[in-house]
Structure 1
Amino acid sequence: MDKGYEKEVFKSISLKASVAKKFNSYCKKLSMSKSMTLLLMLEFFEDNGISPTESMGPKMQTLENLIKKRINGVIAILKDIEKGQTKPTVAMMQSLFQEAEPKKQPLILEKKNTEEKQPKYQERNQQDL
């Protein structure tokens, strides 16, 4: 029994046999009674302001445009966050790390001195031979 409609009387509606067969199979898919299925269909059309004779084209285009506007709004918010928060924070962090890095100065090593001295020493040994 349909909840809330138990005490209502039944009225008959005349339908063509092919339409009645299609409607019965649709009711079985929804697992609802014929009365509730028809009521659900009528409420859908009324709530959405559409008529079965209208095409869904303009309504779907309106929905698509609304979604595109919202996506563009989200993109604008993300760009604003990037400009206002992310990039300045990254710049500050980079400046801190650059100041924290020790300045690279060439170290005075004895290797340079020994390298310069070795060829002279070798030259002397070769001259002595």
Structure 2
Amino acid sequence: MDSFIGIRFKKETAKRFQEFSRTHFKSHTEAMATMLDFFFYNEISPKEKLGPTGRTIEASLKKRINAVIAIMRDMEKSQTKPTVAMLESLFQTEEPKKKPLILEKKIIEEKSEVRPPAGEAGFREKLNGNNDL
């Protein structure tokens, strides 16, 4: 059986360690050994800062993403949409609709009507406007 040794800690520090040890480990010895191994294997000092935490990294990424979105929206409003509109107006080759003249319309209607098989004389009567024969 392993022997124990007493180490003196301040009361507040000892209570914090006991609470931490109870929540994460089976014994205080296992907790202390694991912490010492962590610092030894990772070659870091407990006094060093490890850098930003996950929450701070996430917050900074969200800020940068929002900034990029704002830049892209501004580019779309000020550059992309006006440029696309100008290019579309340049390449539109829509011919104006050609409306037939009133005279042409009447002649087309007369040609499309069914003619009686009276021959050439019946056709002249319609063109001349004479209805008496």
Q: Name the structure, 1 or 2, with higher relative contact order (CA <8 Å, separation 6+).
A: 1
Relative to its length, the structure with more helix (as a share) is 1
Structure with bigger gyration radius: 2
